[in-house]
Structure 1
Amino acid sequence: MDTRFRKILVIGAVAFALAAPASQALLGFGLSASAFAGQGDSTLRAVGWAFSIWSLIYTGLVAYAIYQALPRNDGNPRLAALAVPSAVAIAGCGAWILASAFNARWLSVAIILVSAVSLSWALVRTPRAGSAAVGERLCVWWPLGLLAGWLTIATALNILTVMTAEGLLGGLARAAAFAGIVAVLVAALAGLRATRLAAFGAPVAWGLIGVWAAERAAKADVAALALGAAVLVAAYAAWQLRPAGRGG
């Protein structure tokens, strides 16, 4: 891949991901993300503060865009391999804001699903040098791992939200909530095992704690499952930090 194209692609994707929510906040068009989710969050939801993780994710993505554009990284094969799938996922964050703003429910599902799969697959397929510089770990692998992990749990919540809003669950809502949490747990553990990247698990555990906080009053059983899943994911993510592993 041409180095200049790679740099422009990633920077453009990050700029779009930041501009979409900022422009919506300034211009006030369409539904906010919370209003969109509120149409169908009776099956499974996360408490509002859980979404504050986006501040950390956005900060990491800016660091990633800057790091990959530095001249000293022009010949880095890992950055070249990650460029397109990461740009797809990052731009998908902005596209999701627009889709949800205009209440394009199934489009929002397609966008977040493609984003999650694209980035997760890239993190699995791209080999990391065992001696990767601290800067690369902090500015590439951790930001992308955080985004991939968050998209994993956000995909499940988005799918359940849309299915609920469309009236597709009926009396199966409680079972769907359980299934959603189990699916997130399985995906998170599989992702951690494949990527050996602790940053992948951290936002999943955080999101599951957010689900526990949101559901513990009305759905104690669902909340308990979410909390148990969060503990398992956090423990396995911590395991990836052991010196013998290649996790970051």
Structure 2
Amino acid sequence: MPTPVSSPGMQSRARGALLLPIVVSLATAATILVNYLANGLPINGQSTGDVTRRFEVYFMPAGYAFSIWSVIYLGLIAYSGYLCLAAPRARARDTDTARAIAPWYLLTAVANCGWLFAWHYNHFALSMLVMIVLLASLIVIYRQLAAHPATSTFELWAVHLPFRVYLGWISVATIANATITLDAAGWDGFGLTEPAWGVVMVVVATALGLTMSVVFADIAYVAVVVWALIAVAVRLSDTTSILITALVGAAVLVLSLLVSVPRHRRTHAATRS
């Protein structure tokens, strides 16, 4: 019996399946390297924190909160590793979602690195634009993952959870970026005091977390917002209005998970039965 000959299209797809993990891994390495150099060099002679500390804004987490980037980096490495391990199984259906989000992931890598250069060179309006691109890309990834639940524990931890955490932090970072961008532009806040706008930003962050809790019962996303709100309360503990609002917001989000997670599980159990 003659051996079937692979078509050019099949060969091209096979090469693409093998090339994709390499490209994603390089993007991950570049993201981590540029983030390291941002403070290791540092870029433009100032660290990321140096730029931030020049502004007395009322929505900014305490410095320790930024250690969450270590968790995010581990998640990106896990995603890259998942694709590398999946490469030999190019036709496996359980890798389809991880491959589908790869182009958007590459865009997040470009935006992440681009944001650092814009930030360190004090181009705050540009940094805001790039941050929105990063946020939008992560939202697209999140929606694709939500539409295709994980088929294994490995996929859950290496693909789904990393992007939930990433989106949670970038959601908070976008709010913080907006406050600094407006402050740098000399915005007068429509007559409201800066602490009042800080309270508004805390409420916005809480509303985002509450939405993700009620709609998706997303523990990872909400936990990141809670982490950020507590860090805001720590940094601005001398501003009573923000301290109370941030702590109340964090408590509301925790309580919302206690309600939404069991309800979400019951709904899924009823759907499967």
Please indicate the TM-score interval, normalised by the length of the shorter structure: 0.7 to 0.9
Aligned runs of 1:33-48 on 2, under 5 Å?
33-48=48-63
Q: For 1:244, what is the secondary structure of its paired residue? A: helix
> How far does residue 185 in structure 1 lie from its aligned partner after superposition?
1.6
Aligned to 2:251: 231
Is 2:83 the counterpart of 1:68? Answer: yes
What is the aligned counterpart of 1:216 among 230, 237, 258?
Answer: 237
Answer whether contact 1:20 1:98 (CA < 8 A) is retained. no
Unaligned runs of 5+ in 2: 1-12, 269-273
What is the aligned counterpart of 1:11 among 8, 11, 25?
Answer: 25
CA distance in 1, matches of 2:257, 2:118: 32
Q: For 1:103, what is the secondary structure of its paired residue? A: coil
Note closer, same or farther for the CA distance 1:236–1:87 as it changes in structure 2 (3 Å cut): farther
What is the aligned counterpart of 2:166 among 144, 147, 152?
Answer: 147
- Structure 2: which amino acid aligns with 1:135? F
Answer whether contact 1:45 1:211 (CA < 8 A) is retained. yes
Note closer, same or farther for the CA distance 1:216–1:103 as it changes in structure 2 (3 Å cut): same
- Structure 1: which amino acid aligns with 2:36? A
Deviations 1:155-198 (A, max 9, x none): 10110012112221355323321221121122222234444432
Is 2:74 the counterpart of 1:59? Answer: yes
Q: Identical aligned pairs, as a percentage?
A: 23
Q: For 2:59, what is the secondary structure of its paired residue? A: coil
> How far does residue 59 in structure 1 lie from its aligned partner after superposition?
1.2
Note closer, same or farther for the CA distance 1:117–1:200 as it changes in structure 2 (3 Å cut): same
CA distance in 1, matches of 2:27, 2:160: 17
Aligned to 1:183: 204
Aligned to 1:244: 266
> How far does residue 61 in structure 1 lie from its aligned partner after superposition?
1.2
CA distance in 2, matches of 1:203, 1:59: 15
> How far does residue 208 in structure 1 lie from its aligned partner after superposition?
0.6
- Structure 1: which amino acid aligns with 2:247? L
Unaligned runs of 5+ in 1: none
Moved more, 8-17 or 231-240: 231-240
> How far does residue 211 in structure 1 lie from its aligned partner after superposition?
0.3
What is the aligned counterpart of 2:226 among 183, 202, 205?
Answer: 205
Pairs aligned (count) = 244
Q: For 1:129, what is the secondary structure of its paired residue? A: coil
Answer whether contact 2:236 2:242 (CA < 8 A) is retained. yes
CA distance in 1, matches of 2:23, 2:218: 24
CA distance in 1, matches of 2:174, 2:41: 27
What is the aligned counterpart of 1:129 among 149, 158, 161?
Answer: 149
What is the aligned counterpart of 1:21 among 35, 48, 67?
Answer: 35
Note closer, same or farther for the CA distance 1:90–1:244 as it changes in structure 2 (3 Å cut): farther
CA distance in 2, matches of 1:159, 1:20: 22
Answer whether contact 2:39 2:48 (CA < 8 A) is retained. no
Tell me how large the CA RMSD over aligned residues is: 2.3
CA distance in 2, matches of 1:194, 1:85: 23
Answer whether contact 2:43 2:117 (CA < 8 A) is retained. no
Give the TM-score normalised by structure 1: 0.88
> How far does residue 201 in structure 1 lie from its aligned partner after superposition?
1.3
> How far does residue 18 in structure 1 lie from its aligned partner after superposition?
0.3
Answer whether contact 1:13 1:90 (CA < 8 A) is retained. yes
- Structure 2: which amino acid aligns with 1:102? Y
